[in-house]
Chains A and B, each alone.
Chain A
Amino acid sequence: MSGRSVVIVASGGANTASLVYAFERLGVRAALSADPAEIRDASHVILPGVGAALDAMRRLRESGLDRLIARLPQPVLGICLGMQLLFDASAEGPTPCLGVLPGRVERLGAGPDRPVPHIGWNTLERRADSPLLEGLRAGDRAYFVHSYAAPVADATIATTEYGAPFSACVQRDRFFGVQFHPERSAAVGARVLANFLGVR
């Protein structure tokens, strides 16, 4: 996959290495960077995120990356917390987020057989066609680890159910987001990452 320069936004999360390796397995070198010029020049931008929304937004604001990311013209993929940051706001903090997608991220409701965090391999249910979901089949599972989730909204292209349905994948124009971890979702995850790299 030549001609692509993938930049993973270095937003302070600890485990971006697994993302770098996931792209390596696709034959693509992804660079980790917090440099605005490098991010602006990338063909594809990944907004990762593990940790808390409030801290992540604070770090993005301090470096001025919040405004940059929200205005990027190239394909952007938010992963896990990175997807949540694309929304208007998160209950985790609470904190305002990037405002690329309307809506507010809420805490998952715990239940007797439904511990939070939600950790597991869950099925994706397609709600709309998107290049991101190309080649995925009904019943395909992805690996989730999260305590917060985005509600089902206009941008939702796939949902997953945990007590209630939430947004598993979102897209608005060239902003994409996945609540699961594609870098740890076996063949399904690799397909989603490859699909994203196919978006021009």
Chain B
Amino acid sequence: MRDGRVVKGVRFRDHRDVGDILALAGRYRDDGADELVFYDIGASPDGRTVDRGWVERVARLLDIPFCVAGGIRSVADAEAILAAGADKVSVNSPALAEPGLIDALARRFGSQCVVVGIDSETAGGDYRVQQYTGDPRRSRDADRRTLDWIREAVERGAGEIVLNCMASDGVRRGYDLVQLRAARDACSVPLVASGGAGAAAHFAEVFRDAHVDAALAASVFHSGQIAIPALKAGLAAEGIEVRRE
């Protein structure tokens, strides 16, 4: 999300406009998406909070859960977004700057409302957390190992982890199964795979091989390359449990 429009980049850069928020949200709801995540990618690097108006419009429209991410720096920020009708808030860069934010959010709203998003790069045989990834000029190593940060976030009260494997993001070659398997072992709360979906088979393999609880994708759905009903029918045919109307 940027300035009221949905945008999508490749490896967190070169974002293109893909449409109006409400139109896309309605389309995905009708297609059978199980949850929507809205990232205000400019919010954290710009030092601003997501505008609340669109959250309320989305909440009125959707009858499936949705999560809002971007620039949530305080309990008050989160409260405004949840009060507008979002089901969960996701924190990323601000939680790296002030990890106590996770504890505070979990205490106030319960772990089930608190998602910690992690942008992770592969470097020197290890996984490293990246911060301020919404802005290529400010994106930097957060000086933390990804698996350590997952454990800490869960301990502090995160109810869900969204792991975005940056090397895979937007390039459609499949989820980073090796990294996600390692994350699965480190993560005792629901784990959502993000980054790399390029074909229906990638979804089946991430559920089967990495045991994630959900798979998140953007490019393949925005472009129309993968239709959600067909994707779910395929997953069901492979014995993977999915919701279908």
Instruction: State the A residues within 8 Å of B (CB).
Output: 14-15, 17-18, 21-22, 24-25, 50-52, 110, 113, 115-117, 119-121, 141, 143, 145-147, 181, 183-187, 189-190
Question: Are B64 and A18 in contact (CB-based, < 8 A)?
Answer: no
User: Knowing A141-B243, A145-B87, A184-B87 touch, does A117 contact B60 (C-beta < 8 A)?
Assistant: no
User: Knowing A50-B112, A115-B187, A115-B188 touch, does A143 contact B82 (C-beta < 8 A)?
Assistant: no
Question: Which residue of A is nearest B88, CB measured?
Answer: A145
Q: Of the candidates B78, B85, B110, which one forms a contact with A51 in the assembled complex, judged by CB atoms under 8 Å apart?
A: B110
> What are the residues of chain B within 8 A of A183 when measuring CB–CB?
63
User: Knowing A17-B83, A115-B188 touch, does A120 contact B213 (C-beta < 8 A)?
Assistant: yes
User: Knowing A115-B189, A146-B112 touch, does A25 contact B63 (C-beta < 8 A)?
Assistant: yes
B147 within 8 A of A: no
B38 within 8 A of A: no
What 4 additional pairs, Cβ within 8 angstroms, besides A51-B110, A186-B64? A14-B78, A50-B113, A51-B109, A52-B110
Question: Are B188 and A117 in contact (CB-based, < 8 A)?
Answer: no
User: Knowing A14-B109, A18-B59, A145-B112 touch, does A121 contact B34 (C-beta < 8 A)?
Assistant: yes
B160 within 8 A of A: yes
Q: How far is the CA of A15 from the CA of B65 in the complex (A)?
A: 12
Q: Of the candidates A17, A52, A146, A181, which one forms a contact with B59 in the assembled complex, judged by CB atoms under 8 Å apart?
A: A17
User: Knowing A143-B64, A147-B111, A184-B64 touch, does A119 contact B86 (C-beta < 8 A)?
Assistant: no
B11 within 8 A of A: no
Instruction: State the B residues within 8 Å of A (CB).
Output: 29, 34, 56, 59-60, 62-65, 78-79, 82-87, 108-113, 159-160, 187-191, 211, 213-214, 243, 245
Q: Which of A51, A52, A113, A121 has the most CB of B within 10 A?
A: A121
Question: Which residue of B is nearest A113, CB measured?
Answer: B211
Question: Are B189 and A15 in contact (CB-based, < 8 A)?
Answer: no
Q: Of the candidates B29, B64, B160, B188, which one forms a contact with A119 in the assembled complex, judged by CB atoms under 8 Å apart?
A: B160
User: Knowing A18-B87, A119-B159, A141-B243 touch, does A190 contact B112 (C-beta < 8 A)?
Assistant: no
Question: Are B245 and A187 in contact (CB-based, < 8 A)?
Answer: yes
Question: Are B83 and A15 in contact (CB-based, < 8 A)?
Answer: yes
A-B residue pairs in contact (CB < 8 Å), sample of 15: A14-B78, A14-B83, A24-B60, A50-B109, A50-B112, A50-B113, A51-B109, A113-B211, A115-B189, A120-B213, A141-B243, A145-B159, A181-B87, A186-B29, A186-B63
Question: Are A21 and B243 in contact (CB-based, < 8 A)?
Answer: no
Question: Which residue of A is nearest B159, CB measured?
Answer: A117
> What are the residues of chain A within 8 A of B187 when measuring CB–CB?
115
In the assembled complex, the CB of A182 is this many whole angstroms from the nearest CB of chain B, namely 9
> What are the residues of chain B within 8 A of A113 when measuring CB–CB?
211
In the assembled complex, the CB of A8 is this many whole angstroms from the nearest CB of chain B, namely 13
Question: Are A50 and B110 in contact (CB-based, < 8 A)?
Answer: yes
In the assembled complex, the CB of A21 is this many whole angstroms from the nearest CB of chain B, namely 5
> What are the residues of chain B within 8 A of A110 when measuring CB–CB?
188
In the assembled complex, the CB of A175 is this many whole angstroms from the nearest CB of chain B, namely 23
In the assembled complex, the CB of B11 is this many whole angstroms from the nearest CB of chain A, namely 28
User: Knowing A113-B211, A117-B190, A190-B63 touch, does A17 contact B85 (C-beta < 8 A)?
Assistant: yes
Q: Of the candidates A50, A141, A145, A185, which one forms a contact with B63 in the assembled complex, judged by CB atoms under 8 Å apart?
A: A185
Question: Are B111 and A15 in contact (CB-based, < 8 A)?
Answer: no
> What are the residues of chain A within 8 A of B82 when measuring CB–CB?
14-15
> What are the residues of chain A within 8 A of B159 when measuring CB–CB?
117, 119, 145, 147
Question: Are A14 and B79 in contact (CB-based, < 8 A)?
Answer: yes
Q: How far is the CA of A110 from the CA of B159 in the complex (A)?
A: 13
Question: Are B63 and A184 in contact (CB-based, < 8 A)?
Answer: yes
Q: Which of A21, A187, A189 has the most CB of B within 10 A?
A: A21
Q: Of the candidates B60, B65, B188, B189, which one forms a contact with A143 in the assembled complex, judged by CB atoms under 8 Å apart?
A: B65
